[in-house]
Amino acid sequence: MLNINKGYILSGAVAIGTIMASIPTSAQEITLKFANWLPSVHHWTKTARAFADSIEQASGGKIKVSIDKGPLAKPPGQFDLAVNGVRDMIMHVAAYTPGRFVFYRMAEVPFATKNSETGSVGFAKWYAKHGFEKEEFKGAKLMAAFVHGPGLLHSKKEIKTLEDLKGVKIRVGGGGVLIAKSLGAVPVAMSAPKAHESLQRGTTDAAFFPYEAVHGFKLSKLVKFHLEIPGGLYTTPFMVAMSGKTWNGLPSDAKR
């Protein structure tokens, strides 16, 4: 089983490394507003706080990061918070905005993610190598690219064969729709925070998630069975992005 915090600790480290290179040396004090749409107990929220503290410490207090305590927009609207300059930084799930991040979502292919560490590094390097940021991040600056661990199937009933999957309603996000259909299941697309309620009410029978999300969204009491697939059925690419307006407004020494 994966360490539930590994993927998000790695993502925080990647983000910290990027932004620490952007710390201003001048006396100007900067406060960055970081949007957050996940619950306070979620490991991403905790990692984001550690990330913010590290930036403040490394900058000698010249850069402050204020993290929202509640969602300013629904998950699909997070990227626009950065593009429109409503927030300085955001964490966004590419699959929540279909058609907007075609190249970014190439990370969703099946059987390709051994773990979040190697998956994140490989994906970030591939995306940067081909220069896709220029096409897909207009109005924003990509600060960190990362993926979660292997996407697996977590269900209320045990799944042993493809026959067992027929008619099973699976909570999916993004590319999971096609995968669920190909397995004979019924995909039910929704953002991750809605998974708990849907399983509890019986709207769904199962969910596509990495192990860390089962913990983060408190699903362990609702899904008793976990189907592991080497390399995962999919993975989900995430991003930390900065408003283009914020990036362009930073002192020149903050961009080195």
The domain spanning residue 243 has which CATH number?
Answer: 3.40.190.170
Q: Taking the CA atoms of the chain, what radius of gyration do you get in angstroms?
A: 19
Q: What is the largest CA-CA distance in the chain?
A: 65
Residues 72 and 18 in one domain: yes
Residues 82 and 170 in one domain: no
Q: What whole-number distance in Å separates Cα of residue 200 and Cα of residue 160?
A: 23
Asked if 154 contacts 19 with a C-beta cutoff of 8 angstroms, the reply is: no
pLDDT greater than 90 at residue 73: yes
Residues 49 and 138 in one domain: yes
* pLDDT tier at 21, thresholds 50, 70, 90: very low
* Residue 126 within a domain: no
Asked if 23 contacts 252 with a C-beta cutoff of 8 angstroms, the reply is: no
Q: What whole-number distance in Å separates Cα of residue 99 and Cα of residue 166?
A: 29
- The overall average pLDDT reported for the chain is 88
* Residue 111 within a domain: no
As to burial, measured by CB atoms within 10 angstroms (0-12 exposed, 13-18 middle, 19+ buried), residue 162 is exposed
Number of domains in the chain: 2
The domain spanning residue 170 has which CATH number?
Answer: 3.40.190.10
Of the listed ranges 111-120, 177-186, 244-253, the one predicted with least confidence = 244-253
* pLDDT tier at 27, thresholds 50, 70, 90: low
pLDDT greater than 60 at residue 158: yes
Q: Which of 150, 163, 171 is nearest to 223 (CA)?
A: 171
Express as a percent the part of the chain with pLDDT over 70: 88
- pLDDT at 136 (0 to 100): 98
* pLDDT tier at 10, thresholds 50, 70, 90: very low
CA distances in angstroms from 224 to 45, 125, 180, listed in the order given? 25, 36, 19
* Residue 106 within a domain: no
Residues 200 and 182 in one domain: yes
Strand order in the sheet with 237-243: 63-67, 30-34, 89-93, 237-243, 140-147
* Residue 124 within a domain: no
- pLDDT at 41 (0 to 100): 79
Residues 188 and 138 in one domain: no
Q: What is the DSSP letter of 29?
A: -
For every residue of 168-237, DSSP letters joined together read: -EEEE-TTHHHHHHHTT-EEEE--GGGHHHHHHHTS-SEEEE-HHHHHHTT-TTT--EEE--TT-SB--E
CA distances in angstroms from 255 to 116, 224, 233, 249, listed in the order given? 28, 48, 38, 10
Which residues are CB-contacts of 41 (< 8 A; sequence separation ≥ 6)? 216, 218
**Domain span at residue 209?**
152-227
Residues 24 and 140 in one domain: yes
Residues 138 and 208 in one domain: no
Tell me the average pLDDT across 147-164. Answer: 96
**pLDDT, tens digit (0-9, with 9 covering 90-100), for 88-103:** 999 999 999 999 999 9
Residues 91 and 10 in one domain: yes
Residues 69 and 160 in one domain: no
**pLDDT, tens digit (0-9, with 9 covering 90-100), for 31-59:** 999 999 988 878 888 889 988 898 888 77
Residues 139 and 74 in one domain: yes
Amino acid found at 87: R
As to burial, measured by CB atoms within 10 angstroms (0-12 exposed, 13-18 middle, 19+ buried), residue 99 is exposed
Tell me the average pLDDT across 203-213. Answer: 95
Calculated CA dihedral for residues 90, 22, 108, 76, nearest 10 degrees:
10
Name the one residue in this structure whose structure tokens are 């990227």: 79
